[in-house]
């Protein structure tokens, strides 16, 4: 297992909440895996390359979001690929794309996947796109876990938007993202698997209808951490067959568009029966009793232990398939070379 180093010196409430969740998640997953496998915990720090190399690892259960930088979530997968060590979860490209919400949304558009209209801000001085409609949500483009998304992130006019953009850029690396607020039901979709063998977990609805105006009526950092009023969770969500199919299709298309692997979670809002993909989390939270992914798995009849082992087996199956394909490719090349050699020998014999 590769896990992030805990930052115990911070006073930032966002970081403190994330650190606690990471610690609980890592300990629980280690407990599950240790029942059937020998598990080593390796900290994601500057010495990780050496620490990975000196241990004989069959596969890595990667829980690290990286050390620093805009594509930090890709750092551990990149090191693992460089060292030739198989790992669980999405690859370098998918993590980089998923973490940068603006780039991900551009890809969704290219693949005809509905997503909210948006604008990127790198300095806060960019002219406002006249096609961006209010209300809008302003948030960091390259953060997860609700970081930088609070009640005041929802803005209703140009002045408030630029104020929130400046506030976001002052704390987080650019760009800041302003996207049209999709007024409608909110869902999250868990996916396990790859290509045509994906399992779509029961859809979870996050219902803000009974949340009072003093709290957040969308998924903010506070609401994700139980501080934003009494939102309700329904899993499986009550949906018609048609709506359920449309949401699952959009989630699956988003998963494939970013080339995600093994497991991911897709956040969606539905307006006028159109599922709008808000974002995709290529490294979703797996904290038991708290994170959405285990809740959806539980609704599918999976225990937490079964969920973790299913994710592991999914990655192992993908790796076995990769080895078979490589073997077939090598055999095909050898066969082709042999046939070419025979043809050349035949030609030489005819000349003689």
Query: For 61-117, what is each residue's pLDDT tens digit?
Result: 999 999 887 789 999 999 999 999 999 999 999 999 999 999 999 999 999 999 999
Closest CA to 203 of 138, 108, 268: 268
Q: Is residue 190 part of a domain?
A: no
Distance CA 145, CA 148 (A): 9
Which pLDDT does position 285 carry in this prediction?
A: 94
In a domain, 12, yes or no: yes
pLDDT at 324 (0 to 100):
74
Residue 339 — very low, low, confident or very high, per pLDDT cuts 50/70/90?
low
Residue 77 and residue 127 share a domain:
no
Single out the residue in 158, 181, 204 at which a domain terminates. 181
The reply to whether 95 falls in a domain is no
Is the residue at 74 inside a domain?
Answer: yes
| CATH number of the domain that residue 146 is part of | 3.30.1490.20
Q: Are residues 121 and 80 in the same domain?
A: no
- Which of 39, 74, 89 is a domain's end point? 89
Cβ-contact 184, 125 below 8 angstroms: no
The residue with greater pLDDT, 314 or 21, is 314
Q: Decide: pTM greater than 0.85.
A: yes
Any domain includes 266: no
Q: Is the pLDDT of residue 330 over 60?
A: no
| Per-residue confidence (pLDDT) for residue 332, from 0 to 100 | 62
Number of domains in the chain: 2
Which of these, 190, 188, 233, 176, lies nearest to 209 by C-alpha position?
233
Q: Confirm whether 99 is domain-assigned.
A: no
Tokens of 110: 């290219």
**Per-residue pLDDT tens digits for 171-199:** 999 999 999 999 999 999 999 999 989 99
Q: Are residues 143 and 72 in the same domain?
A: no
With respect to residue 30, please indicate whether it lies within any of the assigned structural domains: yes
pLDDT digits (tens, 9 = 90+) for 245-270: 999 999 999 999 999 999 999 999 99
pLDDT value, residue 16: 76
Most confident by average pLDDT, 15-19, 37-41, 346-350: 37-41
Q: Containing domain of residue 130, as a range?
A: 117-181
């Amino acid at each position: 297992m590769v896990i992030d180093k805990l930052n115990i010196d911070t006073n930032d409430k966002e970081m403190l909440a994330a650190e606690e969740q990471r610690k609980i998640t890592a300990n629980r997953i280690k407990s599950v895996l240790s029942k059937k496998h020998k598990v080593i915990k390796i900290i994601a720090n500057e010495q990780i390359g050496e620490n990975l190399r000196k241990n004989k690892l069959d596969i890595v259960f990667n829980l690290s979001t990286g050390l620093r930088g805009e594509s930090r979530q890709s750092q551990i997968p990149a090191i693992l690929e460089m060292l030739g060590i198989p790992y669980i979860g999405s690859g370098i490209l998918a993590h980089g794309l998923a973490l940068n919400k603006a780039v991900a949304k551009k890809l969704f558009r290219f693949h005809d996947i509905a997503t909210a209209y948006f604008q990127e801000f790198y300095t806060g001085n960019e002219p406002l796109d006249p096609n961006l409609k209010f209300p809008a949500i302003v948030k960091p483009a390259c953060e997860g876990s609700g970081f930088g998304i609070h009640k005041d992130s929802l803005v209703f006019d140009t002045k408030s938007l630029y104020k929130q953009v400046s506030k976001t850029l002052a704390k987080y690396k650019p760009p800041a993202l302003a996207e049209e607020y999709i007024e409608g039901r909110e869902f999250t979709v868990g996916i396990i698997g790859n290509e045509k063998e994906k399992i779509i977990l029961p859809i979870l609805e996050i219902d803000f209808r009974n949340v009072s105006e003093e709290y957040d009526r969308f998924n903010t950092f506070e609401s994700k951490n139980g501080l934003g009023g009494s939102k309700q969770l329904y899993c499986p969500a009550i949906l018609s067959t048609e709506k359920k199919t449309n949401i699952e299709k959009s989630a699956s298309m988003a998963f494939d568009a970013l080339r995600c692997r093994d497991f991911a979670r897709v956040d969606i809002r539905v307006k006028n029966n159109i599922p709008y993909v808000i974002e995709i989390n290529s490294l979703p939270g797996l904290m038991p009793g708290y994170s959405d992914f285990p809740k959806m798995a539980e609704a599918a009849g999976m225990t937490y232990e079964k969920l973790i082992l299913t994710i592991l087996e999914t990655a192992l199956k993908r790796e076995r398939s990769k080895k078979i394909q490589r073997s077939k490719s090598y055999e095909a090349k050898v066969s082709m070379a042999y046939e070419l050699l025979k043809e050349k020998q035949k030609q030489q014999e005819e000349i003689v």
